Structure 1
Amino acid sequence: MSQDFRFLASPRRRCYALLFEHRTRSGRRMETFWIVASLLSVFILFFESSATDLFPNTPNILWRFGLAEAAFTALFSVEYVLRVFSSPRKTRYPLSFFGIIDLLTILPMYIIWLIPSFGTATDLIVLIRLLRILRVLRVLKLLRYMSDAGILWRSLMRAKRKLGIFFGFVAIILCLFGGLMFAAEGGQDGFTSLGTSVYWAVVTLTTVGYGDITPHTAIGRMLASVLILLGYSIIAVPTGILTAYMSQELEKGRAARSCQTCLHSGHEIDAKFCAHCGAVLTSEKTQPIEK
């Protein structure tokens, strides 16, 4: 850091400790504050969507919800700026998963403020709703404060190739059965296009079965029966793959917890005392999700 900006080093370290480190008392208090703020903003969003029905005798209820949303937007904007300011590498946090989530949750209000014509253009009502619903992504901010979520994240990263191969195989099956059903039904009874037929295959393979499109020919019903049985057969495959990697991650965590007194290992991740000699276990640093 240059001499001109060296006076910012101490505030940056303080901001980093408050926003990224949660092992200190002040860090835990800040963590609790952001969790409550994120949950409260999401709850208010759900109430806002049905405000006129819940509060029929309050004519300016939407204006009050707008003020609350403006306050939350300002609060999370300050958080985003401080995180960028305190991040050791300026491009790492904005381009990370949580950096993008934090940016997306504050953009809707700014877009509506900067382009007020959105509020009067009836053909853009879908876009307005999409921008407002983006605020629901604030619930993903909670993952930052869930240490055990790192186990799931690392398991997904380790299993991504196997899961990718599995979902590629499923996509081939869906396209194949969708094409066969389109040919068997001859474009009748709802199977008017290949895309619609693949949609039916997705619904059937996942055993949802909406019933909006159903085959009426003998060959079509036979294909549907095979696809349903196939869906029951492969639905547990991704669960088994992910469970296997999660078990490996949990075993790694247990192996890392060893007693400093008797050197006995294999303790649970949240264990506080040694199961062999009763000594106090030192806390191990868990591997957090990339922030």
Structure 2
Amino acid sequence: MSQSKQKKNWKEQLHDIIYEAETPAGKLFDILLLIVIITSIILVMLESVKSIDSKYHDVLNAAEWVITILFTIEYIARIITVKKPLKYICSFYGIIDLLSTAPKYLSIIFTGTHALVALRALRLLRIFRILKLGRYLGASHNLVSALKASRAKISVFLFAVIILAVILGTIMYLVEGEENGFTNIPKSVYWCIVTLTTVGFGDIAPQTPLGQFIASLVMILGYGIIAVPTGIVSAEYSNRTKTPGPIALPADQNKTIHLNSQSCSNCLKHDHRDGAEYCYNCGEPLHNT
């Protein structure tokens, strides 16, 4: 009998529940954790509203303590169920999990009126819990891979946009002049950037007919510029969807590979093929159900 078929100990069972979403228990854990994360984010937002916090401070504080304890239990469980705890602790999500848990405990240490400013900053760190949602977003790894694959093209595109903003900003400085708010070239470039991105703060506006004509062209150009990086990333994302995860197929084998969320307890890699018994990264046996 292979190792994958042997009876699992409690750590392996807990690992399956926490790190995987293919089993009923794993799906239930993810759903409950999502609810807790979203609830905690809502509490942080409500706590920042003075009228609500002054009326329901004790309730919000008690609820925050309950959520903090739950996150603490989850954080400890994640550490004890992997073979290399330090790897998880130093990973991106490990740091996010710590940042989302620690502030409430640190608020006990920093007491007194002299630490009110520090307390506010510590409490705001709890908003990092929203980053915990990232590991539960389906196909998020494909989007990250698409962005990485597109970074060279996007970098060239952004460089071209910067050059265009400098040129158009300089032209607007010459056309409008200081009397219309374009007091220097950097400020004119700033106007061009906010106009190209269709933000339009309205603190600077061209007054001359020629300047308004140029501004109209810049705004129209801005809509076209937004579409370029979107198309680049979309094309890469489409390619990643056809051949997702760590498995790269030749161009003539255009077929979908089914991957799952199974996570390796040794190196924390995921996106293994359905039915795989060993990790594609480190060769560690997987805890198949």
TM-score (norm 1): 0.70
What residue is the counterpart of 1:171 in the other structure?
Answer: 162
Q: Distance in 1 between matches of 2:215 and 2:198?
A: 11
Instruction: State whether residues 110 and 119 of structure 2, in contact with CA within 8 Å, keep that contact through their aligned partners in structure 1.
Output: no
What residue is the counterpart of 1:240 in the other structure?
Answer: 231
What residue is the counterpart of 2:285 in the other structure?
Answer: none
Residue 71 in structure 1 maps to residue 66 in structure 2: yes
Q: Distance in 1 between matches of 2:11 and 2:114?
A: 43
Residue 162 in structure 1 maps to residue 153 in structure 2: yes
The Cα offsets for residues 210-247 of structure 1, whole Å up to 9 and x where unpaired, read as 32211234564454334223212221001100111122
Change beyond 3 A, Cα 1:109–1:158: same
What residue is the counterpart of 1:6 in the other structure?
Answer: none
- The residue matched to 2:230 in structure 1 has which SS? helix
- The residue matched to 2:88 in structure 1 has which SS? coil
Structure 2 counterparts to residues 63-212 of structure 1, below 5 A: 63-117=58-112, 120=114, 124=117, 129-182=120-173, 184-192=175-183, 196-212=187-203
Gaps of 5+ in 1: 1-8, 257-264, 270-282
Q: How many residues align?
A: 251
**Structure 1 residue 89: deviation in Å?**
2.8
What residue is the counterpart of 1:260 in the other structure?
Answer: none
Instruction: State whether residues 189 and 216 of structure 1, in contact with CA within 8 Å, keep that contact through their aligned partners in structure 2.
Output: yes
What residue is the counterpart of 2:260 in the other structure?
Answer: 285
Matched residues, percent identical? 33
Change beyond 3 A, Cα 1:219–1:143: same
What residue is the counterpart of 2:242 in the other structure?
Answer: 251
The Cα offsets for residues 168-190 of structure 1, whole Å up to 9 and x where unpaired, read as 33233334444554555444544
Q: Distance in 1 between matches of 2:169 and 2:103?
A: 38
Q: Alpha carbon RMSD of aligned pairs, Å?
A: 3.5
What residue is the counterpart of 2:48 in the other structure?
Answer: 49
TM-score (norm 2): 0.70
Q: Distance in 2 between matches of 1:287 and 1:178?
A: 52
Q: Distance in 1 between matches of 2:193 and 2:98?
A: 33
Q: Distance in 1 between matches of 2:269 and 2:188?
A: 40
Q: Distance in 2 between matches of 1:173 and 1:238?
A: 16
Instruction: State whether residues 22 and 262 of structure 2, in contact with CA within 8 Å, keep that contact through their aligned partners in structure 1.
Output: no
What residue is the counterpart of 1:28 in the other structure?
Answer: 27
Larger relative contact order (CA 8 Å, sep ≥ 6): 2
Which stretch has the larger CA shift, 83-92 or 176-185?
A: 176-185
- The residue matched to 1:235 in structure 2 has which SS? helix
Instruction: State whether residues 195 and 218 of structure 2, in contact with CA within 8 Å, keep that contact through their aligned partners in structure 1.
Output: yes
Instruction: State whether residues 51 and 62 of structure 1, in contact with CA within 8 Å, keep that contact through their aligned partners in structure 2.
Output: no
Corresponding letter in the other structure for 2:139? D
Instruction: State whether residues 21 and 27 of structure 1, in contact with CA within 8 Å, keep that contact through their aligned partners in structure 2.
Output: yes
The Cα offsets for residues 93-127 of structure 1, whole Å up to 9 and x where unpaired, read as 2333322322222243244333235x5467x3xx6
Q: Distance in 1 between matches of 2:207 and 2:262?
A: 54
Q: Distance in 1 between matches of 2:123 and 2:79?
A: 24
Change beyond 3 A, Cα 1:12–1:230: same
Change beyond 3 A, Cα 1:237–1:20: same
Of 198, 214, 217, the residue aligned with 2:205 is 214
Change beyond 3 A, Cα 1:232–1:31: closer
Which stretch has the larger CA shift, 89-98 or 187-196?
A: 187-196
- The residue matched to 2:85 in structure 1 has which SS? coil
**Structure 1 residue 207: deviation in Å?**
1.7
